[in-house]
Structure 1
Amino acid sequence: MSIGLLERAEERRKAALAQLDSEEQAQRGQYFTPHLAAQIIAGLPRLPAGESVRVLDPGAGSGILSAALVDRLRVWRPDLRVHIVAVESDSVLHPALSETLADLETVEGVTTELVDADFLVWALSTGQRFDLVIQNPPYAKLRTGSDPQNLLRGAGITVPNIYAAFLELGLRLLVDGGQQVAITPRSWMNGTYYSAFRHHFVRTAGIDALHTFESRSKVFGDTGVLQESIVVSATRGRTPDQVIVHTSYDHDSEPSSRTVAYQDIVTPDFIHVPATESDAKAVAWMATHAQHTLADLGLTVSTGRVVDFRCPEMLHHDRVDGAVPMVNATHIRGGVTQHPVGAKKPEWFHTDPVAAGKLLVPGGHYVLIKRFSAKEERRRVVSAVWRSEDEVAFDNKLNYIHQDGHGLDAEAANGLAVFLNSTQLDSYFRVFSGHTQVNATDLRQMRFPSLDQLRQLAAVTSHDQLEIDAAVEAVLVPAGVKA
């Protein structure tokens, strides 16, 4: 029994992957799409209504996305004329890509074109326009002052990673009403770094479908990618009323699908990804019952000032004369801060007055949040209150909430920690953020209860999860209102 288009393309993908130099592959940000993931991506575009469709495959690699698309179209629209433009600058991949494109041309009505060019340069100079862009863009940071960054900035594109540049250029090359489907990290959907790009993206195109994966590691299992990936379908110049959200454990499992109101996905600040009904409820609960940013409350969040490897001479395992507590993530345990705990890392900080003025914070009540949570912790957001009369040093792997550089009043601090440790907040954060860490930027964008409500939550002294969640529900949801 002969194998099909997609299976042959998958064999070429694997062969091409084996030929690549791993260091150069990492520099280019090349992560080839496995054929099962390619089928998912190729399954999201709308079936064209006309007689022909022009398709762009940027950074085409071995051509597997084009193969998956043609494989689908020849079943559902065998009468359709398809022209594919595959852009690929890596000459090592050209033999595999050429073979795949030649294979596709054996399908009636399919024509192809291989463009040997840097996609960034080509996209900014071509006059071609397309009905569909389907892509798995490279994931690589744009170095400051590099030629690619300068080229993009000259075209009005300011993004931190090349994948976002591919998304932006893909939109530019679409006809009005054209569709782009791409698999990328979720990182562009929230946070400051991608804010300008994100806002421009949703002004230019409307997101009409998403496909999320519960497993972070299996989508690109043979390429070592651990990014939280998502497939996004968007239509240039059209904003739908609803978004279809597909969810699967990985690229090899049967997805579930649901329809979500557009405004529940795309907000003025960020893009939510409510993969399940419980995710949607978490977003709705927070939108209804928490209305204030930290700035509204007169509070600020910062990242701890001490980076341990930059000042090892200031860190001490044993307390020395004049030393202050050096507080890090290991000191947050069971909803409280404990110091010292006999940790392996230094627990005391001492330096001259000049350096201390830059690295220490005054005594007071601060709300600490771990930037990185341990695997065994059931919550992604882990918080506790630090109290001290004297100055203290906070490690860079902690965020701390303060008021103009000083401590908070005790009730507000305690109430904030209760809220941050609630299941309601944690469930929302997982939908809100595609990161495994909790960044200060995320906390600035999130919504919180009022100061009065926080002070009511301060009455909770238990660290039992059920009691915390019950208190948050009781304080934030008015009597008689169903949560």
Structure 2
Amino acid sequence: MDLIASTETRRQAALAKLDPSTQAVLGQFFTPVKAATLMASTLRVDDLSGTVRVLDPGAGAGSLSAALVDRLHAERPDVAVHVVAVETDPVIMPYLRATLEECQAAYGISYDLVEGDYLLGEDAKLGGPFDLVIANPPYGKLAADSPTRLATAARAVDTPNIYVAFWVRAIASLKKDGQGVFIVPRSWASGPYYRQFRHWLLSTVSLDVLHEFESRTKVFADTNVKQESVIAAFTLGPQAPNVILSKSVAQYENPIARSVPFSVIVQGEDDDKIVHFTEGVSVPSAAKFTLADLGIGVSTGKVVDFRNRQYLTDDLNIPGVAPMVYQSNIRSGGIEWPQAKARKPQGFLAVDDAAIRQLLPQGPYVVVKRQTAKEDRRRVIAALWDGPSKVAFDNKTNYLHESKNPLERDLARGLMLWLNSTVLDRYFRAFSGHTQVNAGDLRRLPFPSREDLILLAKTAPDGLPSQEALDAVVAKLFSEMPDSTA
């Protein structure tokens, strides 16, 4: 049995030993051999010389170390290799040690095995400098006052998640022109939480390869992870002119790759430094307005239900009760209210000034889910509200309005239809890898003019048409009409 095959056998044996109650907490989603091999293939090895120092933080059973050592032996047998592997779980240490010992026996490498917390560890071996780093870090939110977050901020930059903290420390330990490759959730590439990290990352390293997996479930199938994972390979130093964009359904298929200008990946005028994984996603030329251009505002629903329990009621016959709308009320482009078999109170009783301030005037609004399920067909799910009274929106929704007042109904329906179109969904996915749709995300999206949105509302069938019917109307309408602002 060769090194890669035996390491995969150890990985599976190590997974079987894990305590399910702590596996997610420790982020123990060990990298399958095919994904590890794909990651190792993204690094450049032609210019390596002398002793190549490799860091594998959060090493698990050693799959990533083995894949990289195997490649170095095959392509650069003239260099010596020293691996520093870090693991925090003593249950996994014997499997990791066995992998490193096999690497040593088969290929003559040397290694250091460090047991402990990579992010807070003070072992001198972790400081580098390293030629290469390869990692599948754990992920989980970091509280603002957590020692890990504070240590990472002191080291380089504030980070809201463990996987980003791993990334930061690893970069800080690279030698000049050293390289790294990480498999991580795609959330770092967009959204306000990672904005500060993106600014730091893009000013510190060159993004070399960005690989996207089309399947959420196949990459880590035996660990039950449904996170959208991506591979990012990088070099410490100034950004290169081009980036390789790569894609496969899972780790088993040969990737489809192409080189694109960095300006396609991160647009120069974008202060948020959103990292795009898709080249050439476009919308009809008529869709060149933002909500701000159209004079339309977007806000997050005002009602935080657990803070407003005193106003929530199931009795909809009380005088003065207003509809209480949650994202679960959104159904097929409209709002099902009151919702049959609702889990949450459907009424909001505005009995004092504090409650009254949370109501919106009667009239049409477009309501958008802030959180969509991974299995949803679209990321952006919008609905039209046009109820008979003032209304309260839960803070897990966003709503479109004009200066906090209702929209004109045909304009509102046109906005709802556009937001539910496939062309808009594809554009959204090009810059967002998470299932949360923030108000800031909606402000970034392109829209047709107000006149064109009204025309869309009048042209499309009533309600929310089937996806195929809606997309056909959008394609026909905007491919045939002249640019309304030309």
CA distance in 2, matches of 1:452, 1:236: 49
2:163 alignment partner in structure 1:
163
2:297 alignment partner in structure 1:
300
> In structure 2, the residue corresponding to 1:193 is in which secondary structure?
helix
| Structure 1 residue 131, shift from structure 2 partner | 1.5
> In structure 1, the residue corresponding to 2:192 is in which secondary structure?
coil
Distance 1:336 1:132, change over 3 A: same
Distance 1:296 1:174, change over 3 A: farther
1:93 paired to 2:92: yes
Contact 1:360 1:392 in 2 (8 A): yes
CA distance in 2, matches of 1:390, 1:71: 68
CA distance in 2, matches of 1:460, 1:397: 31
Q: Deviations over 1:73-122 (max 9, x none)?
A: 22222222222111223333222222211111123452212223422234
| Structure 1 residue 469, shift from structure 2 partner | 3.4
| Structure 1 residue 184, shift from structure 2 partner | 0.2
Contact 2:276 2:430 in 1 (8 A): yes
1:277 alignment partner in structure 2:
none
2:22 alignment partner in structure 1:
24
Q: Deviations over 1:422-455 (max 9, x none)?
A: 2221111122211234232321333334445545
Contact 2:57 2:137 in 1 (8 A): yes
Contact 2:373 2:435 in 1 (8 A): no
> In structure 2, the residue corresponding to 1:400 is in which secondary structure?
strand
> In structure 2, the residue corresponding to 1:47 is in which secondary structure?
coil
> In structure 2, the residue corresponding to 1:401 is in which secondary structure?
strand
| Structure 1 residue 183, shift from structure 2 partner | 0.2
CA distance in 2, matches of 1:450, 1:248: 36
| Structure 1 residue 377, shift from structure 2 partner | 5.9
1:324 alignment partner in structure 2:
322
CA distance in 2, matches of 1:95, 1:323: 63
CA distance in 2, matches of 1:124, 1:460: 67
| Range with bigger deviation, 140-149 or 364-373 | 364-373
> In structure 1, the residue corresponding to 2:91 is in which secondary structure?
helix
Superposition TM-score, scaled by structure 1 size = 0.88
Contact 1:177 1:238 in 2 (8 A): no
> In structure 2, the residue corresponding to 1:195 is in which secondary structure?
helix
Distance 1:378 1:416, change over 3 A: same
CA distance in 2, matches of 1:42, 1:375: 28
Distance 1:386 1:161, change over 3 A: same
Contact 1:59 1:119 in 2 (8 A): yes
1:397 alignment partner in structure 2:
396
Distance 1:152 1:341, change over 3 A: closer
1:356 alignment partner in structure 2:
355
Q: Deviations over 1:52-81 (max 9, x none)?
A: 322111111221100011112222222222
| Structure 1 residue 5, shift from structure 2 partner | 1.0
CA distance in 1, matches of 2:403, 2:123: 45
Distance 1:358 1:97, change over 3 A: farther
The one-letter amino acid paired with 1:245 is L
Q: Deviations over 1:103-146 (max 9, x none)?
A: 11123452212223422234797542112110001112112322
1:255 alignment partner in structure 2:
255
| Structure 1 residue 26, shift from structure 2 partner | 2.4
| Range with bigger deviation, 116-125 or 435-444 | 116-125
Q: Deviations over 1:355-383 (max 9, x none)?
A: 42243222233211123456886433222
CA distance in 1, matches of 2:66, 2:243: 26
CA distance in 2, matches of 1:377, 1:117: 39
- In the alignment, structure 1 segments of 5+ residues that lack a partner are 275-279
1:271 paired to 2:275: yes
CA distance in 2, matches of 1:260, 1:137: 27
1:335 alignment partner in structure 2:
333
1:468 paired to 2:474: yes
CA distance in 1, matches of 2:201, 2:84: 23
Paired-residue identity, %:
44
Contact 1:190 1:442 in 2 (8 A): no
The one-letter amino acid paired with 2:483 is P
Contact 1:305 1:393 in 2 (8 A): yes
CA distance in 1, matches of 2:427, 2:100: 44
Q: Deviations over 1:365-414 (max 9, x none)?
A: 32111234568864332223323463101233322112343323445434
Distance 1:46 1:375, change over 3 A: closer
The one-letter amino acid paired with 1:305 is K
> In structure 2, the residue corresponding to 1:38 is in which secondary structure?
helix
1:212 alignment partner in structure 2:
212
Contact 1:33 1:136 in 2 (8 A): yes
Contact 1:36 1:252 in 2 (8 A): yes
Contact 1:176 1:236 in 2 (8 A): yes
> In structure 2, the residue corresponding to 1:250 is in which secondary structure?
coil
Contact 2:286 2:449 in 1 (8 A): no
> In structure 2, the residue corresponding to 1:239 is in which secondary structure?
coil
Q: Deviations over 1:149-195 (max 9, x none)?
A: 22223334211101001111222112222211000000011000001
The one-letter amino acid paired with 2:78 is D
2:227 alignment partner in structure 1:
227
| Structure 1 residue 343, shift from structure 2 partner | 5.3
Contact 1:205 1:236 in 2 (8 A): yes
> In structure 1, the residue corresponding to 2:405 is in which secondary structure?
coil
| Structure 1 residue 421, shift from structure 2 partner | 2.3
Superposition TM-score, scaled by structure 2 size = 0.87
Contact 2:365 2:406 in 1 (8 A): yes
Distance 1:420 1:12, change over 3 A: same
> In structure 2, the residue corresponding to 1:360 is in which secondary structure?
coil
1:478 paired to 2:483: yes
CA distance in 1, matches of 2:113, 2:363: 64
Contact 2:374 2:435 in 1 (8 A): no
Distance 1:420 1:129, change over 3 A: same
| Range with bigger deviation, 185-194 or 462-471 | 462-471
| Structure 1 residue 418, shift from structure 2 partner | 3.1
> In structure 1, the residue corresponding to 2:113 is in which secondary structure?
strand
CA distance in 2, matches of 1:174, 1:47: 15
- In the alignment, structure 2 segments of 5+ residues that lack a partner are none
Contact 2:149 2:165 in 1 (8 A): no
